[in-house]
């Protein structure tokens, strides 16, 4: 309780000191490293030793509830084995799972052999050791399964977007690795390989896979696709959207009854995470629309209090970059987010950081109604974390004046963490990359939308920051 008060005070002070009661545009400006990709021969992309050694190892959740992982890797020289050997003590692999292998071409690039193996039937809250690859080239990793589905399960998510493969990307990844995050919610735009042409597109997907292995081989990254995954490149004869991405980054979509790897949901600890595709059809009657309608009904806040939505294009964005691009999805899904009391929507796309108050704009219907966003206690907080550090650089031009709904914005690279404590409290941080240091810049206690409720909603208009962070548990209200 005491620490809550301190957070509250801190946040209110911050808002007053800088900008009265309105939202805050951080004036912080730091010189960044050049937005150029790390050279191919850099150790960040080092090849593992040995003939046909597995590389680009990464894992993601493999089922609905966290008792399975999908392990994926690439062998460069020949298909080799798709087997995963695993167990609960180091070097002792009592179990095996058999996966599949495939390859693809992209213009004149031929991929390595891409393995995918579902390892299921795992115990909760257990450290597993695994080994992949053959003979002398075998490689060893480990991962920790999440706690069982429980409303009070504590869990720490990292949120990263628009990462790319520059020195700024490396800084973000290194900071994230030191954050204690247990699973990454990745909000789209992975490798930026589509900034290259011909053979190099595939080459840069491979370097990115080797780059993220240091984290993604040891903990799940939950994937959400962005525009840089589309790779519609007719001048090279490549017109199948998401070809590289879908070959390389599997998702557990059938487990949530989705028909497409680009949208799906998982449950992990006390969180229900819904992944949407900004670049797949989503209007009424499309498969994604129908699926989301059903998935929202499956959310059980008594089991998983925290309802988190990931998408690439932000619905609320006051940066000049990508301004209004989220409007189409907003008109389709925003009313559902309010109806189902989504806790937080994370997006990327804009290469800056921004957080909204709890607001909605669902009353206008072209012929009548109030057309502006208004404070809404049932609405999610919208957070844009498209600041992983890719080669396109920062989006430094925010619209002026700052819209009323925008609580905090800053054009710096960084990542976020959401540390769920129990069914009512989650501690949120945005961490700016700052001269090699991780600096917690925007931090507050997020109160659950189902189990907590605001006692001070009447003051919402007067002091909105207050409204985001001050809620009371349901028990106190009753």
Note the residues at the interface with Fe ion (CB under 5 A): 189, 226-227, 349
Radius of gyration of the chain (CA): 22
Taking the CA of residue 20 as centre, how many other CA atoms within 13 Å lie in the half-sphere pointing to its CB? Answer: 4
Residue carrying the six token digits 């957080």: 355
Near ligand NAG by CB under 6 A, which window of 59-67, 230-238, 240-248, 363-371? 363-371
Cβ distance 412 to 431 under 8 Å?
no
**Is 425 one of the binding residues for ligand NAG (CB under 6 A)?**
yes
Near ligand NAG by CB under 6 A, which window of 260-268, 270-278, 280-288, 359-367? 359-367
Near ligand NAG by CB under 6 A, which window of 92-100, 117-125, 198-206, 364-372? 364-372
DSSP lists the bridge partners of residue 353 as 385, 410
Q: Is the CB of 161 or the CB of 305 nearer to ligand NAG?
A: 305
Q: How crowded is residue 356: how many other Cβ atoms within 10 Å of its Cβ? A: 29
Q: Is the CB of 154 or the CB of 214 nearer to ligand NAG?
A: 154
Cα 386 from Cα 381, distance rounded (Å): 16
As measured in angstroms, the least distance from the Cβ of 109 to Fe ion is: 23
As measured in angstroms, the least distance from the Cβ of 413 to Fe ion is: 15
Tell me which of Fe ion, ligand NAG, none is bound by residue 281, counting a contact when its beta carbon lies within the kind-specific cut-off of 5 to 8 angstroms: none
Q: Which residues are catalytic?
A: 322
Tell me which of Fe ion, ligand NAG, none is bound by residue 349, counting a contact when its beta carbon lies within the kind-specific cut-off of 5 to 8 angstroms: Fe ion
Contacts of 117 (CB under 8 A, 6+ apart): 70, 71, 72, 82, 83, 84, 97, 98, 99, 100, 132
Cβ distance 309 to 376 under 8 Å?
no
Among candidate residues 415, 390, 434, the one with its CA nearest the CA of residue 29: 434
By three-state DSSP, how is residue 310 classified? strand
Q: Is the CB of 199 or the CB of 363 nearer to ligand NAG?
A: 363
Cβ distance 353 to 162 under 8 Å?
no
Pick from 89, 100, 103, 197 the residue near ligand NAG by CB under 6 A: 103
**Is 422 one of the binding residues for ligand NAG (CB under 6 A)?**
yes
Cα 411 from Cα 324, distance rounded (Å): 18
Number of residues near ligand NAG (by CB under 6 A): 14
- Residues 368-407 touching ligand NAG, rule: CB under 6 A, are 368-369
Q: Is the CB of 144 or the CB of 422 nearer to ligand NAG?
A: 422
Q: Is the CB of 18 or the CB of 303 nearer to ligand NAG?
A: 303
Exposure string for 122-160, b = 16+ CB within 10 A, e = fewer: beeeeebbbbbbbeebebebebebbbebbbebebbbbbb
Tell me which of ligand NAG, Fe ion, none is bound by residue 369, counting a contact when its beta carbon lies within the kind-specific cut-off of 5 to 8 angstroms: ligand NAG
Q: Is the CB of 58 or the CB of 349 nearer to Fe ion?
A: 349
For residue 201, the Cα-to-chain-centroid distance in whole angstroms is 23
As measured in angstroms, the least distance from the Cβ of 19 to Fe ion is: 28
Pick from 72, 277, 390, 424 the residue near ligand NAG by CB under 6 A: 424
Tell me which of Fe ion, ligand NAG, none is bound by residue 226, counting a contact when its beta carbon lies within the kind-specific cut-off of 5 to 8 angstroms: Fe ion
**Is 477 one of the binding residues for ligand NAG (CB under 6 A)?**
no
Instruction: Provide the binding-site residues for ligand NAG, judged by CB under 6 A.
Output: 1, 103-105, 110, 363, 365, 367-369, 421-422, 424-425
């Amino acid at each position: 309780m005491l620490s809550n008060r301190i957070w509250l005070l801190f946040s209110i002070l911050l808002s007053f000191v800088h900008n009265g009661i309105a939202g805050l545009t951080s004036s912080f400006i730091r010189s960044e490293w050049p937005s150029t990709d790390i050279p191919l021969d850099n150790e960040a992309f080092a090849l593992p030793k040995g003939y046909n050694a597995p590389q680009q190892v990464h894992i993601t959740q493999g089922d609905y509830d966290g008792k399975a992982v999908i392990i994926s890797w690439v062998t460069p020289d020949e298909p080799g084995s798709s087997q995963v050997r695993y167990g609960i003590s180091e070097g002792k692999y009592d179990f095996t799972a058999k996966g599949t292998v495939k390859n693809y071409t992209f213009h004149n690039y031929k991929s390595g052999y891409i393995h995918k193996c579902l390892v299921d039937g795992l115990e909760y809250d257990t450290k597993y050791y695994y080994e992949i690859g053959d003979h002398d080239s075998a490689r060893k990793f480990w991962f920790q399964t999440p706690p069982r589905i429980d409303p009070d399960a504590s869990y720490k998510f990292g949120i990263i977007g628009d990462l790319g493969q520059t020195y700024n990307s490396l800084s973000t990844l290194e900071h994230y690795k030191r954050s204690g995050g247990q699973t990454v919610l990745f909000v789209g735009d992975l490798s930026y390989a589509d900034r290259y042409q011909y053979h190099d597109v595939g080459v840069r997907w491979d370097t990115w896979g080797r780059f993220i292995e240091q984290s993604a081989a040891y903990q799940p990254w939950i994937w959400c696709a962005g525009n840089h995954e589309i790779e519609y490149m007719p001048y090279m004869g490549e017109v199948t959207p998401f070809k590289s991405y879908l070959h390389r980054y599997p998702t557990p979509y059938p487990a949530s009854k989705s028909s497409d790897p680009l949208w799906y949901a998982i449950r992990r600890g006390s969180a229900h995470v819904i992944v949407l595709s900004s670049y797949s059809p989503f209007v009424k009657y499309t498969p994604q629309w129908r699926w989301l309608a059903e998935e929202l009904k499956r959310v059980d806040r008594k089991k998983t209090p925290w309802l988190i939505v990931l998408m690439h294009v932000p619905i609320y964005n006051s940066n000049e970059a990508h301004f209004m691009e989220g409007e189409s999805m907003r008109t389709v899904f925003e009313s559902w987010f309010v109806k189902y009391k989504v806790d937080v929507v994370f997006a990327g796309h804009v290469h800056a950081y921004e957080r909204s108050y709890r607001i909605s704009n669902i009353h206008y219907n072209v012929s009548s109604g109030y057309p502006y966003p208004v404070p809404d206690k049932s609405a999610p907080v919208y957070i844009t974390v498209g600041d992983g550090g890719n080669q396109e650089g920062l989006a430094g031009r925010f619209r002026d004046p700052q819209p009323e709904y925008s609580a905090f914005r800053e054009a710096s690279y960084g990542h976020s963490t959401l540390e769920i404590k129990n069914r009512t409290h989650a501690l949120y941080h945005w961490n700016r990359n700052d001269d090699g240091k991780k600096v917690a810049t925007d931090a507050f206690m997020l109160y659950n939308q189902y189990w907590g409720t605001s006692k001070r909603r009447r003051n919402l208009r007067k002091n909105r920051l207050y409204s985001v962070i001050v809620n009371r548990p349901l028990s106190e209200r009753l």
